Structure formats: C-alpha cells, structure tokens
Amino acid sequence: SLTHEEAVSHRDCALGKWLYSRGLADYGHIDEMKVMETEHEKLHSVIREIIDLKHRGNDTQAETRYQDIEALSGRIVALLKAVERKVAH
C-alpha cells in the first residue's frame, strides 16, 4: 500500500524515485523515457484529483477518473517494457 505522499507525488513513489535518481540519468536518451515521465506525472495528477473528488463526496466522478488510472498505468508498463527491450539490445 502507498503512503499519501507516494500516491500524490510523482517523485515520491518507487517509479518516481527511480526515474529521478537513475532512470532519466541512465536512460534519458531513450525516447520512451520522456514519454513515461509525462505519463507518470499525469497518473499522479489523476490520483490527486480522485482524492479531491472523494473528499468532496463526488464518488461517481472519482470512479470515472479511476478508469484513467488503469489506462495510464497500462501505458507506463508498456513504456517500461519498450525501454527494457531497447536496453537489452
């Protein structure tokens, strides 16, 4: 389970810590890394929005936005796999 900071900050979660410590430094020349950084920032933006919606009692809107998390997560995983393939060759 994520802490609140990990959930809302694109720099404090495990992927963010890796991206901003070694990931971009080591692999920033790979196009997918910059796209991943952007998608990752969007993911945390949506998470913050969902938390805000839930706090305001807008559960239906929060559930709708949750679908965006699934799509963003899928894109991030695909980008990670693409980077992994490029690094392996």
pTM exceeds 0.95, yes or no: no
Which single residue is written with the structure tokens 């952007």? 38
The pLDDT assigned to 4 comes to 80
Which single residue is written with the structure tokens 């393939």? 85
SS3 4: helix
Give the domain ranges of the chain. Answer: 4-88
Share of the chain above pLDDT 90, in %: 89
pLDDT tens readout for residues 23-34: 999 999 999 999
Helix ranges, the chain (H): 4-8, 14-18, 24-27, 31-55, 59-88
Share of the chain above pLDDT 70, in %: 99
